[in-house]
Amino acid sequence: MLEKELPGCLEPHFDTEAVQAAKQGMPNEDLLFETGEFFKAFADSSRLTILASLLHQELCVCDISAVVGMSQSAVSHQLRVLRNARIVKYRKEGKQVFYSVDDGHIEKIIQLTMDHLTEQEELR
């Protein structure tokens, strides 16, 4: 299916006040860059599957591997990406390491995204 072209301005112009207000409301470039990097970590279905497994309780790599059907090595690799993005955290208990989502914001981000996508499907 071809995407329809989005409408644009028919005549080049800009609203000085609107442009100035938008510029003043813009976050700084560093924060925008960090936000982009943060969302890149969500851009993989394997990582999202791992995150979904951690939304309700912490799990060790062995348990995550069993839930998501991936090798422990693959799970560990994806957890490293998520940990570096501060999306998951871990705690050690003896020789075991348990992973969980970093905080409640992560669950909200995932849930809001899924709500948005579900809502969009219902509107079609």
pLDDT per 10-residue tile (average), the chain, 124 residues: 71 85 93 94 95 95 97 97 96 95 93 89 71
Q: In the numeric block, which tokens belong to residue 17?
A: 């006040």
Q: In the numeric block, which tokens belong to residue 51?
A: 């995150």
pTM, to two decimals? 0.79
In angstroms, the CA 72 to CA 8 distance is: 49
- Phi first, then psi, for residue 14 (nearest 5°) are -155, 150
Alpha helices in the chain (DSSP H): 16-24, 29-41, 45-54, 61-68, 72-84, 104-123
- Residue 3's pLDDT is 65
